[in-house]
Amino acid sequence: MGDSSCCPTPYFKIFDMKLNQVIYTIHHNSCITAACSCNDVVYDVNDENGQTVGSLTKYWAGGLKGCAGCCREMSNADTFVIDIPENASNRQKTALIGAQLLMV
């Protein structure tokens, strides 16, 4: 977690055990990570220098609006998009896909 307030923001790290260093940090700027506000949920992916290099996004109800969107969201049918950094290795891409699956 990013902080210890009553509404902590999510903060994750992808750590390379072979290199013994943090490869990416992943965070969301709000403690509300469900798409209950009818907005997409976007996690920023930052490199070891703190530069935003990608994102992990959950689209609200798979892009649907209104009642259809509410029904889709409640049925747990999600649409995810991963913007992977262009210089990411296959292992790093796999780690980002795994991180997206764990953040549901």
Q: Give mean pLDDT, residues 90-94.
A: 93
Tokens 């210089």 map to which residue? 87
Is 3 part of a structural domain of the chain? no
Side chain identity at 52, as an amino acid letter? Answer: T
Is 34 part of a structural domain of the chain? yes
Q: Is the pLDDT of residue 22 over 90?
A: yes
Q: Structural domain tally of the chain? A: 1
C-alpha distances in Å from residue 73, one per residue of 2, 9, 100? 26, 22, 17
| pLDDT of 77 | 55
Q: Look up the domain containing 35 and give its range.
A: 11-102
Q: Assign 5 a pLDDT band (cuts: 50, 70, 90).
A: low
Position with higher pLDDT, 58 vs 2: 58
Position with higher pLDDT, 5 vs 84: 84
Is 5 part of a structural domain of the chain? no
Is 51 part of a structural domain of the chain? yes
Is 6 part of a structural domain of the chain? no
